[in-house]
Amino acid sequence: MSDYLEQAEQYRDDVTGFLREIIAIPSPSCEEADVARRIAAEMEDLGYDEVFSDPMGNVVGRIGDGKTKIVLDAHMDTVGVGDSSSWPHDPYEGKLTDGVVFGRGASDNKGAVASQVYGGKLIAGRGLDGADVTVYVVGTVMEEDCDGLALGYFLTETVTGVDAVVLGECTNLAVYRGHRGRMEISVQTRGTSAHASAPERGDNAVAAMAPVVLDVTELNERLADDAFLGRGTIAVTMIECETASLNAIPDSCTIYLDRRLTAGETLESALKEVASLGSAENAKVEVLDYARPAYTGLTLETEKYYPTWVLEPDHPLVAAGAAAGKAALGKTPEVDKWTFSTNGIASAGRLGIPTIGFGPSEERWAHSVLDQCPVDHLVASVAYYAALPAAIAGIGD
200 is catalytic: no
Figure out which of the listed residues 7, 53, 107, 109 binds Zn ion, where binding follows CB under 5 A: 109
Closest CA relative to residue 348, chosen from 144, 93, 148, 142: 148
Q: Which is nearer to Zn ion, 26 or 394 (CB)?
A: 26
Contact stretch for Zn ion (CB under 5 A) within 105-113, 205-213, 309-317, 378-386: 105-113
Q: Which is nearer to Zn ion, 4 or 358 (CB)?
A: 358
Q: Which is nearer to Zn ion, 145 or 286 (CB)?
A: 145
Q: Which is nearer to Zn ion, 42 or 169 (CB)?
A: 169
Please give the backbone phi and psi of residue 290, each rounded to the nearest 5 degrees, phi first.
Answer: -120, 130
Identity at 174, one-letter amino acid code: A
Rg of the chain in Å (alpha carbons): 23
Give min distance, CB of 108 to Zn ion, in A.
4
Give min distance, CB of 83 to Zn ion, in A.
21
Closest CA relative to residue 237, chosen from 276, 302, 185: 185
Identity at 108, one-letter amino acid code: D
Q: Which is nearer to Zn ion, 163 or 169 (CB)?
A: 169
Q: Which is nearer to Zn ion, 48 or 309 (CB)?
A: 309
Give min distance, CB of 147 to Zn ion, in A.
8
Residue 135, class by beta-carbon neighbours within 10 Å (0-12 exposed, 13-18 middle, 19+ buried)? Answer: buried
3-class DSSP assignment, residue 271: helix
77 binds Zn ion (CB under 5 A): no
Instruction: Identify the active-site residue in 42, 143, 184, 273.
Output: 143
Alpha helices in 201-263 (DSSP H): 205-219
Figure out which of the listed residues 108, 163, 273, 362 binds Zn ion, where binding follows CB under 5 A: 108
Total residues at interface with Zn ion (CB under 5 A): 3
Contact stretch for Zn ion (CB under 5 A) within 100-108, 204-212, 219-227, 238-246: 100-108
N- to C-terminal Cα separation, the chain = 31
Q: How many CB atoms lie within 10 A of CB 224?
A: 14
Residue 286, class by beta-carbon neighbours within 10 Å (0-12 exposed, 13-18 middle, 19+ buried)? Answer: middle
Give min distance, CB of 109 to Zn ion, in A.
4
Closest CA relative to residue 224, chosen from 260, 277, 268, 176: 260
Give min distance, CB of 392 to Zn ion, in A.
22
Task: State how far the Cα of 243 lies from the Cα of 192, in Å rounded to an integer.
Answer: 10
Q: Which is nearer to Zn ion, 167 or 283 (CB)?
A: 167
Contact stretch for Zn ion (CB under 5 A) within 109-117, 125-133, 150-158, 279-287: 109-117
Give min distance, CB of 167 to Zn ion, in A.
9
Q: C-alpha angle 362/368/371, rounded to 5°?
A: 55
Closest CA relative to residue 140, chosen from 233, 45, 82, 57: 57
77 is catalytic: yes
Instruction: Identify the active-site residue in 42, 77, 144, 371.
Output: 77
Task: State how far the Cα of 79 lies from the Cα of 27, in Å rounded to an integer.
Answer: 8
> Could you tell me whether strands 50-53 and 59-63 are parallel, antiparallel, or unpaired per DSSP bridges?
antiparallel
Give min distance, CB of 343 to Zn ion, in A.
8
Task: State how far the Cα of 25 lies from the Cα of 48, in Å rounded to an integer.
Answer: 23
Kindly write out the interface string for residues 130-169 of this chain, putting x where it contacts Zn ion by CB under 5 A and - elsewhere.
---------------------------------------x
Q: Catalytic positions, please?
A: 77, 143
Site of interaction with Zn ion (CB under 5 A): 108-109, 169
